[in-house]
Amino acid sequence: MPRDHTSRRPGRPARRTDASPDAERDLSAAPLYSPARVRDLLDRHGLRPTKSLGQNFLIDGNILRAIAEAGGAASGVPVLEIGPGLGVLTREIASRGAQVTALEKDERLRPVLAETLGGLDVNVIWGDALDFDYATLQAGTRVIANLPYYITGLLLSRFMRAPGIASATVLVQKEVGQRLAAQPGSENYGFLSAIAALYGSVQHVRDVPKGAFLPAPDVTSSVIRLDFDRTREAPEPAFLSFVEAALHHRRKTMRNNLRLTGMDGDAIDAALNATGLRPDVRAEDVSLGDLRDMALKLGVVR
């Protein structure tokens, strides 16, 4: 993946390119995240936000500060941002002295980031965040990002598995945040909740209304902070696959979910019995401890 340090040019004051008196008003006094500056940046660079890349840009300073604060952006802290976009969150994080690496797929944003991140020491890596090798990150790295929602699950799973990542403070769809923080027996409990608990803890920081973005997304969002406990032994891939299969359809019985993977019905019944679970227990009611017991009794892990 190509590496590119963004230019260190001092930020230029933003100017409209048409000549109407209204358009000539100086925008440089407005903060970078203000709707007027964001529209101006997009106009001057001939860009339109791309829905398929999940481009909903933040235009609310309070939210930007809250994410950077909750994510632990501070002097000398290594921070990884996915999707810097126009650079508004990146600026907020970098101006607190954090060492920011940002992964951005949309090459059209090169000149925008050269302008908005001028003067800041940010390492922008151009390419797909799904191709990045997260195992290379230094210990204590904090992810802080307004994630592209179409790949939230895949990215969270990469963050959890990367030993160098200490926490991830991310904007996600509200519904995903609820699933991450859910306990067994609650309405939103499922695979995401179980693996989040397997790797550490989840904190709901705040909800974010649609109006905090340009363009506004279809859904309400939440800022969630995941803290990963790296003193725990990394879960075996076989156990992760088992949990995924067992909770695949959260409203179905766990027995049916496991049968769908081709497991023997009698063996599942014996394991349920030995674990002290009802044969018709629903996936949404099974705790991580019970999943571990089931996996042991079925010989999935040792």
Q: In the complex with ligand SAM, which residue's Cβ is closer, 148 or 184? A: 148
For the segment 208-247, give every residue that binds ligand SAM (CB under 6 A): none
Q: Which residue is at the shortest CB distance from ligand SAM?
A: 83
Calpha distance 121→257 (Å, rounded)? 49
Q: Residue from 6, 40, 41, 56 that binds ligand SAM (CB under 6 A)?
A: 56
Q: Assess 71 for contact with ligand SAM (CB under 6 A).
A: no
What backbone torsions phi and psi does residue 50 show, to the nearest 5 degrees? Answer: -100, 120
Shortest separation between residue 44's beta carbon and ligand SAM, angstroms: 17
Q: In the complex with ligand SAM, which residue's Cβ is closer, 83 or 190? A: 83
Q: What tokens does 299 get?
A: 């010989």
Given the rule CB under 6 A, which of 12-20, 122-130, 235-243, 271-279 is the region that contacts ligand SAM?
A: 122-130
Q: Which helix (H) or strand (E) holds 240?
A: helix 237-246
Shortest separation between residue 30's beta carbon and ligand SAM, angstroms: 16
Shortest separation between residue 81's beta carbon and ligand SAM, angstroms: 7
Calpha distance 284→185 (Å, rounded)? 6
Given the rule CB under 6 A, which of 48-56, 194-202, 223-231, 248-256 is the region that contacts ligand SAM?
A: 48-56
Binding mask 190-209 for ligand SAM (x = CB under 6 A): --------------------
Q: List the beta strands (DSSP E) in 11-109.
A: 57-58, 78-82, 99-104
Binding mask 78-117 for ligand SAM (x = CB under 6 A): ----xxxxx-xx-------------xxxx-----------
Is the Cβ–Cβ distance between 295 and 301 less than 8 Å?
yes
β-bridge pairing 3-5 and 122-126: antiparallel
Please report which residue ranges of 31-140 form alpha helices under DSSP H: 35-44, 61-71, 88-94, 110-116
For the segment 148-187, give every residue that binds ligand SAM (CB under 6 A): 148, 151
Shortest separation between residue 148's beta carbon and ligand SAM, angstroms: 3
Given the rule CB under 6 A, which of 91-99, 146-154, 175-183, 290-298 is the region that contacts ligand SAM?
A: 146-154
- Dihedral, 153, 77, 69, 217 alpha carbons, nearest 10: -30
Given the rule CB under 6 A, which of 76-84, 202-210, 253-261, 265-273 is the region that contacts ligand SAM?
A: 76-84
Q: Which helix (H) or strand (E) holds 269?
A: helix 265-275
Given the rule CB under 6 A, which of 56-64, 192-200, 225-233, 274-282 is the region that contacts ligand SAM?
A: 56-64
Q: Which helix (H) or strand (E) holds 123?
A: strand 122-126
| DSSP 8-state symbol, 87 | S
Shortest separation between residue 266's beta carbon and ligand SAM, angstroms: 44
Q: Residue from 1, 23, 130, 216 that binds ligand SAM (CB under 6 A)?
A: 130
Residues 6+ apart with CB under 8 A from 231: none
Residues 6+ apart with CB under 8 A from 219: 173, 174, 175, 210
* Contact positions vs ligand SAM (CB under 6 A): 53-58, 82-86, 88-89, 103-106, 128-130, 146, 148, 151
